A and B are shown apart, each in its own frame.
Chain A
Amino acid sequence: MPKRRDILAIVLIVLPWTLLITVWHQSAIAPLLAIRKACHHLVKEIFIIPERLAVHHHRLSDEGAEGKRETGGQDSKEYCASDKDIVEVVRTEYVYTRPPPWSDVLPTIHIITPTYSRPVQKAELTRIANTFLHVPNLHWILIEDSQRRTPLVTGLLRETGLNYTHLNVETPKSFKIRGDTRDPRIPRGTMQRNLALRWLRETFKNNTSQPGIVYFADDDNSYSLELFEEMRSTRKVSVWPVAFVGGLRYESPKVNAAGKVYGWKAVFDPHRPFAIDMAGFAINLKLILSKPQAYFKLRGVKGGYQESSLLRELVTLNDLEPKAANCTKILVWHTRTEKPILVNEGKKGFTDPNMEI
């Protein structure tokens, strides 16, 4: 007859070990599983695709032959280290879900976009949102240059389904009008970008483990998806060429054989500390958080020196990481949209003002 005391003793021994094992299993294995699943998923597609390509080639050359079905399962298992619960997913659709599922391992890209009301605003935000909906782990910080958040932007952000933060700060009129006649560029969007930086610093504590990349994206530029994948591996500040800036086909950092940036390929003042456009660099979130005093300079900034006003407080030329195949590929274009001619609206406005454009 087992005594109650013995049973109690056995339970007391076994209980802590079971708790330990379940807890340990959850914490250590789960992230690895996520990576494995992502890896498997991708590898499955990559290995299936060549099979299908082979099938096509086969059929083209020899009409009668029956193509092979998917046998990529074996290969992906070997590639990704054995994992028993492989998900047999065969994707035949190439339409991406909007937005892509959040990954636990990819660093988040925080995109800071200042915007202001004008006729093309909704169009610009729509097409840039269409681009962002393809990028996994993207967080869009949209800052309006207005006294309060407009319903146009609020509605648009909600409808896209993106992960976003909606802020606003109005640039005082005195900044908007050109003060110094020698100043060719008005520092547009500066207060908005600084607000976003402050928001990031307030939201993420200094020793956060959540990796992130900060990128300043204007709403009228054109971005390719490859750009976002390139910037994801930024450790401090990464740079790449930008098309249609500085009156050139493209401006680019100069990269030496050792893969380090030593200068700038630009005609407009190439001796600036950072002769680069706002769209040509990305900063690791940790760096932003570790230097809480670094902001864009508001006053007394010469045209073209705005980027330098922030970057010189964060990195030196030596720390820059060149991307886009050592700065030889164009992945972002500094396009500008024409101001639409609204001459037929006349003085009183011809069209229904309630219709949102």
Chain B
Amino acid sequence: MAARMKLKLKTVFVLYFMVSLMGLIYALMQLGQHCDCTERDLPKDRAISRLQEELYRLQGQIRQLEKLKQPEKQPPKASLPTIFVITPTYARLVQKAELTRLSLTFLHVPQLHWIVVEDSPRRTPLVTNFLMKSGLTYTHLYVPTAKERKLQEGDPSWLKPRGVEQRNEGLRWLREDRRAQPGEDGQQGVVYFADDDNTYSPQLFEEMRSTQRVSVWPVGLVGGMKFESPVVEGGKVVRFHTGWRPSRPFPMDMAGFAVSLKLVLTNPDACFDGEAPMGFLESSLLKGLVTVDELEPKADNCTKVLVWHTRTEKPKMKREEALQVQGLGSDPAVEV
């Protein structure tokens, strides 16, 4: 009797073991195949994309509100000097495209404060909305250029200096804003003039962060050459490598130097002179601030090109203009 009982139990065990082994093998085989989870995951992906979009939007809103209550708030990373980038901009077809790709570069740079100054009698909705969504810390200013100083349709780009009033307005706001923020930390920073059609590598901003007075570096594709650059010997700038009017006090492009905030604040009258002859705009600011001897070379003693003076073509609008004459132009409500 006992033997038969044991036998039955034994078969039960064996059966049980076989079943579990089968189950395990089945599960392992299931694991081997990738499951087609697309249907299940797609709504979740959509939710995530939607959430990310909302996130960008809300981050933009925070930026704006933080701007409103700036005096009370101290930046959390007080150790890293802020880079104040002053960008003059004006309305034209490629404006939004230029600002978009510029902001995507700036998003890689920590502690950057973008000061956008429009050449316009008021703030345009395009730039306002764009800055809100950009996710950057920004200040939105505007000042119109006087009519006689503005370039007309057929004028070559070098005829009149551009962006002078706008850059000066940026400097003025910066001085006013910093005066309202006493304390050592508020005076630390670097001021850089960035045009909206140039190309910058994020490394450039890390190089300029340590500026004590005025730092300089090479600029690519400018002055009719592959690059213009200060020539450095023994860690000091001795002369400038440029193909055009090297006798200027500072034969550099706007994108080739940065000024420390301290220097800007201690020289409250230093600004760009719109009446300066062509090519002397940068010198008109710098000659009151620093001598060539005091310039700090960056970018590996001025041997690397980290910024390029690119220019964007004006898009051909022949067909658009033809359509507009017929009253069939593209929908102006669609923002380009």
Interface positions of A (Cβ within 8 A of B): 9, 12-13, 16-17, 19-20, 23-24, 27, 31, 35, 38-39, 42-43, 45-46, 49-50, 52-53, 56-57, 59-60, 92-96, 98, 105-107, 119-120, 122-124, 126-127, 130-131, 133-134, 209, 211, 222-226, 229, 232-233, 241, 243-244, 246-250, 265, 267-268, 328-330, 333-338, 340-345, 350-351, 355-357
- Which residues of the other chain, A, contact B244 by a CB distance below 8 angstroms? 344
User: In the complex, what residues of B have CB within 8 A of residue A267's CB?
Assistant: 319, 322-323
A38's nearest neighbour on chain B, judged by CB, is B48
In the complex, the answer to whether B68 meets A60 with C-beta atoms within 8 Å is: yes
Do B308 and A357 touch (CB < 8 A)? yes
Indicate if the CB atoms of B225 and A351 lie closer than 8 Å. yes
Q: Which residues of A contact B222 (CB under 8 A)?
A: 340
Closest 3 CB pairs of A and B: A344-B243, A344-B224, A247-B319
CB-CB under 8 A for A342 and B225, given A244-B94, A335-B94: yes
Contacts of B218 in A (CB 8 A): 355
Chain B residues numbered 26-69 whose CB sits less than 8 Å from any CB in chain A: 27-28, 30-31, 34-38, 41-42, 44-49, 51-56, 58-59, 61-63, 65-66, 68-69
Q: Are B109 and A95 in contact (CB under 8 A)?
A: yes
- A300 CB → nearest B CB, Å: 25
Bound-state Cα–Cα, A345 to B328, Å: 46
**In this assembly, does B162 line the interface, its C-beta being within 8 Å of a C-beta of chain A?**
no
Do the beta carbons of B104 and A105 come within 8 Å of each other?
no
Interface core residue of B45, B229, B244, B303 (most chain A CB under 10 Å): B45
Q: Which residues from chain A contact B30 at a C-beta distance below 8 Å?
A: 27
**A92, A107, A120, A355: which contacts B221 (Cβ < 8 A)?**
A120
**Nearest CB to that of A28 among chain B residues?**
B35
What CA separation (Å) do A345 and B228 show in the bound complex? 11
Q: 12 interchain pairs (CB within 8 A)?
A: A31-B37, A31-B41, A119-B226, A123-B220, A126-B308, A232-B49, A267-B322, A340-B309, A343-B224, A344-B225, A344-B243, A355-B227
CA gap between A6 and B16 in the complex, in Å:
15
CA of A284 to CA of B313, assembled, Å: 32
19 further contact pairs, Cβ within 8 A, besides A23-B24, A105-B48: A12-B17, A13-B17, A23-B27, A35-B48, A39-B51, A49-B61, A57-B65, A59-B69, A95-B108, A96-B107, A123-B308, A127-B105, A229-B53, A244-B93, A249-B334, A334-B315, A338-B310, A355-B304, A357-B226
User: B105 near A232 (CB under 8 angstroms)?
Assistant: no
Residues in A neighbouring B179, C-beta threshold 8 A: none
Q: How far is the CA of A119 from the CA of B2 in the complex (A)?
A: 94
**Which of B83-91, B95-103, B180-188 is near enough to bind chain A?**
B95-103
In the assembled complex, the Cα of A20 lies from the Cα of B28 at a distance in Å of 8
**Given A20-B27, A93-B110, do A52 and B62 touch, yes or no (CB 8 Å)?**
yes
Closest chain A residue, CB of each to CB of B111 = A95
A351 touches B241 (CB 8 A): yes
Closest-CB distance, B312 to chain A (whole angstroms): 5
The answer to whether B334 touches A329, judged by C-beta atoms less than 8 angstroms apart, is yes
> Which of B28, B100, B221 touches A357 (beta carbons < 8 Å)?
B221
Which residue from A92, A98, A127, A338 sits with its C-beta under 8 Å from B101?
Answer: A127
Known: A95-B109, A344-B244. A335 touches B224 (CB 8 A): no
A45 with B93: in contact, given A267-B323, A342-B225 (CB under 8 Å)?
Answer: no
Known: A9-B13, A42-B52. A16 touches B311 (CB 8 A): no
B290 at interface, CB cutoff 8 A: no
Confirm or deny: B278 has a beta carbon within 8 angstroms of a beta carbon on chain A. no
Within 8 A of A (CB), among B304-333: 304-305, 308-313, 315-320, 322-323, 329-330
A124 touches B199 (CB 8 A): yes
Smallest distance from the beta carbon of B316 to chain A beta carbons, Å?
Answer: 5
Given A24-B27, A123-B199, A209-B36, A16 and B21 contact (CB-CB distance below 8 Å): yes
User: Whole-angstrom distance between the alpha carbons of A257 and B41 in the complex?
Assistant: 28
B76 contacts chain A at the CB level, 8 A cutoff: yes
Residues A95 and B23 in contact in the complex (CB < 8 Å), given A46-B51, A336-B315, A338-B310 = no
The answer to whether B135 and A94 have CB atoms under 8 Å apart is yes
A298–B104 Cα distance when bound, in Å, is: 35
Inter-chain contact A355/B27, CB cutoff 8 Å: no
- Chain A positions within 8 Å of B27 at CB level: 20, 23-24
With an 8 A cutoff between CB atoms, is B335 at the interface?
yes
Q: Which partner residue on chain B sits nearest A47 by CB separation?
A: B58
Task: Assess whether B44 is in contact with A105, with CB atoms less than 8 Å apart.
Answer: yes
Chain B residue nearest to A96 (CB atoms) is B107
Pair B48/A106 contact, Cβ less than 8 Å: yes
Of all chain A residues, which has the CB nearest B10?
Answer: A9
Compute how far the CA of A20 lies from the CA of B20 in the bound complex, rounded to whole angstroms: 9
Residue of B nearest to A131 (CB): B104
Tell yes or no: B5 within 8 A of A by CB. no
A16-B20, A248-B323 given as contacts; is B47 within 8 A of A56 (CB)? no
Which chain A residues lie closer than 8 Å to B316 at the CB level? 247
> Which of B48, B54, B334 has the most C-beta atoms of chain A within 10 angstroms of its own C-beta?
B48
B224/A49 in contact, CB under 8 A: no
Given A53-B61, A93-B110, A248-B317, decide whether A123 and B97 contact each other with a Cβ distance below 8 A: no
B313 x A337 contact (CB < 8 A): yes
Contact B226 A338 (CB under 8 A): no
* CB–CB A350/B221 < 8 A: no
> Which residue of chain B has its CB nearest to the CB of A55?
B65
B310 touches A337 (CB 8 A): yes
A42 pairs with B310, CB closer than 8 A: no
Cβ of A107 to closest chain B Cβ, rounded Å: 8
Which residues on B sit within 8 Å (CB–CB) of A336? 312-313, 315
Please indicate the chain B residues that have their CB under 8 angstroms from the CB of A225 in the complex.
56, 104
CB < 8 Å neighbour of A119 from B13, B94, B221: B221
Contact of A247 among B20, B241, B317, B335 (CB under 8 A): B317
Complexed CA–CA distance, A276 and B320 (Å): 16
Q: Does B124 contact A (CB under 8 A)?
A: no
Chain A residue nearest to B199 (CB atoms) is A123
- B1 within 8 A of partner (CB): no
- Kindly provide the distance from the CB of A42 to the nearest chain B CB, expressed in whole angstroms: 4
Q: Give CA–CA (A144, B22) in the complex, Å.
A: 54
How many Å lie between the Cα of A3 and that of B335 in the bound state? 83
In the bound complex, what is the Cα–Cα distance between A222 and B303 (angstroms)?
29
Let me know if B41 and A335 touch, CB within 8 A.
no
